[in-house]
Structure 1
Amino acid sequence: MRQPRSDHRPRRFARAVAGAAVALAAVLGAGGWAADTQRAITGPPPGTAAWIADTTLGLRLPDPATASPAAVAAFFEQVPAAGQDALAVRHPLVVGNLDGAPVRLRYRANALALAEERGRELARATDPALPPRDQATAHGRAERYRTLLDGGRQVLAFDPRGRGLVAEVHGDLTATGRTAVVVPGSDIDLLSFDRPTDPYGTPTGMARALYDATGRQSAVIAWAGYTTPVGLGPDAATETLARAGAQRLTRLLDGLAVTTRPTAPATVFCHSYGSVVCGLARPGPEQAAGLVVLGSPGMGVDSAADLDPRVPLWATGRNGSDWIGNVPNVSLLGLGHGADPTDPGFGARPLPATGSHGHTGYFAPGTASLAAFAALTLGR
């Protein structure tokens, strides 16, 4: 008698579950459990309702939720300088975060927004109705806002919601022909955007190092413009936050294309979990001159062939002390980020990592990786 054919589906499912469990365990074991999950900051910036209702210029203002950066740029081209400045004063959080708005107008708007938010936090820091912990948090935020207001810093985006989002420009974004964007990984927000410890593990430290390495012939954006995972837990092992971040990165790149008029689109440097954001964004040639991944756990794709073939992809070699090498490159049941971009079979162009140390040392001065990053930014 013919034996019934065995069904291998339960066995395959069990293997998939086991693989996903291994992936999550490896991610968690690399840096400890982060029990809380983050809610991505999405949608238009605070103050959008008042912006849309503003009719003082006799013009319909572009809806931040639906207008493309190109449409925003076209709107501002018909508004005289005095009218633009008036909008920035009345709606600083909207104008400061509006991709497609003139760059220098955004700097002005964000300086105004930072000053306003600093005043609010200082009031909270001395509010006797608040518990000491909340007062301390408010004081810390007020101090961060003060540092972002000091020394003529060029803040391209600022959103105080949640853990806070911020982007800063190093160099002259409207004059130089070459630009770069640094997309960070986990544990980056308004408060950790720039810190003296582990400087090359922060967007500001990375951007400053790259800007100097190009001989200050470029402009580099330190972009903490999406909600990143905290610690190494479920958020870091899944793509939820990366998908939301990819949408915001796409708008940033579209905005740069219509406001800076560079000789070439930006070169985008994607560190750690930021490489998942870049992979899911899949920028085209109008948005990016190239993608560079470093310390990557995967890009959320199976190979370079899943990205736009017109945008070159480089993968920085992994140094021996980078713990990301302990994370298995799998994608099962929504866990993990797929194939290793440094694997020759992935299809990325290799970059050296000689001289780098640890997960955040690829932008350190004197490393072969930083020298390669500078050359790519300058189009060499």
Structure 2
Amino acid sequence: MSRPHVPIRGRGTAINPHNRFAPTRSEAEDDGWFQDETPPTHATEVRRETAKTIITRNQSPDVGFDRSVNPYRGCEHGCIYCFARPSHAYWDLSPGIDFETKLIAKTNLAERLEAELSKPNYVPQPIALGINTDGYQPIEREYELTRQALEIMLRYRHPVSIITKGSLIIRDLDLLEQLAAQNLVSVAFSLTTLDDELKRIMEPRTAAPGARLRAMKTLHDHGVPVNVMTAPIIPMINDMELEAMLEAARDAGASSAGYVLLRLPLEIADLFEDWLRTHFPDRANHVMSLIRQSRGGKNYDSRFGSRMRGEGQFADLLSQRFRLARRRLGLDKREWAGLDCSRFAPPGSQMGLF
């Protein structure tokens, strides 16, 4: 039989599912010889990448931006539900614990970003920073790639939106204040729970909920626009906290809010269900049933227009709850709205493009 795994403290998962692009598959089997074996270590490794391009374009109709910059591949935060996990397979790595421990830093980010913003035909629109993986994950303390990107945004007067679970963002308050003074930045905090223990097992290396709210309050008090994303909402795990999270974010200075129903594309479905049965065996079947009821009987529905919200009774009720709470709390400003593209001016130019 397959060897059972035990949760690894500080990591979102203890398993490494098969890389879907690999030509062969291997599975560990317990033959009884290694009962006293010392568990393998799971230290974080960081590889350096020389990126050819740094601005990623998208045409998705259900996200509010058309370009993004991601300083890192993989994320040490270890959120079990992270929609970016399957992308690690493109690098011959597993979306499982590899995604949390074998990271890639785009160390030439500053050079490439400046080159792309300086192209004569470049037309500015807000850049979403750290969308696929968090730009303020722990390795940012050493590599400072997100800070480098913000320094360039400020120098070029280019609008930028940020979403993070990391309180490390306060380190860059000096840059964010200057960007905000020119209406060039908006920050969203992803908030999934107010429960420290649930945070510990669900997104182990993120900032604590209280730390995120304090960071939000600090930014707000310094004139930086802040928003909240209650994402993802997971049936019977954190959906009961929705209104409380929105209220806490409002009290910390958030002016708008959004939410996303849990998405389980590709390998994430097996990873999440394994996590669910490890930590919540008593309700695992019910949780998965509600997810499938909201996804047309499947683990995931990738259709634009429904993939973020789902459909069916649970999804409709969640949508109603969110709309009512958002209106009651005054969190109904348009997300990511209002950043100023007219100030854009590459260093050395006489004036902006507009």
Q: What TM-score, normalized to structure 1?
A: 0.33
Point out the structure with max Rg over C-alpha.
Answer: 1
> Where is the helix percentage greater, Structure 1 or Structure 2?
1
Q: What TM-score, normalized to structure 2?
A: 0.35
